[in-house]
Amino acid sequence: KAGVTQTPRYLIKTRGQQVTLSCSPISGHRSVSWYQQTPGQGLQFLFEYFSETQRNKGNFPGRFSGRQFSNSRSEMNVSTLELGDSALYLCASSQSDLQGEKLFFGSGTQLSVL
């Protein structure tokens, strides 16, 4: 099976712009989660989707949003980018519909905001 695929791998944007990141989970996985990783804050949970429904959301401003499609692929969007949004954004999928089970991570999208 192919792993979790995230695109693009690298992205450079300027302040005020918006960005959309894409994630394709492992085939058959219906849960997709997003995490932000920065040197200062570590790994922070953004949101989790299961069968197109958001089941949990982290403490991020409304500029951060996500969605999941019927084929389980997911996108996250960040509007009005700020310098502090520079981070590695990681997507993970799970084959379980239970809470907090084993996650399979993609290689991430490295976002740089200038």
Partner 1 sequence: SQQGEEDPQALSIQEGENATMNCSYKTSINNLQWYRQNSGRGLVHLILIRSNEREKHSGRLRVTLDTSKKSSSLLITASRAADTASYFCATGFDYKLSFGAGTTVTVRA
Which residues in this chain contact partner 1 in the complex, by CB under 8 A?
4, 31, 33, 35, 37, 42-43, 45, 48, 50, 55-56, 58, 88, 90, 92, 98-108, 110
Shortest Cβ 50–partner 1 spacing (Å): 7
In the bound complex, what is the minimum distance in angstroms from residue 11's beta carbon to partner 1? 15
Q: Which two tokens stand for residue 4?
A: 């979790």
What's the CA angle centered on 68, arms 114 and 9, to 5 degrees?
35
Q: Of 39 and 62, which has the nearer Cβ to partner 1?
A: 39
CB of residue 16 to partner 1, shortest distance in Å:
26
- CA of 21: how far to CAs of 7, 36, 99, 111, in Å? 6, 12, 24, 10
Half-sphere exposure of 80 (CA within 13 A, CB side): 3
Nearest Cα to Cα of residue 5 among 71, 61, 51:
71
Q: Identify which of residues 19 and 94 has a Cβ nearer to partner 1 in the complex.
A: 94
Unique residue bearing structure tokens 């085939």: 27
Nearer CB in complex with partner 1: 33/74: 33
- By beta-carbon proximity to partner 1, the closer residue of 76 and 92 is 92
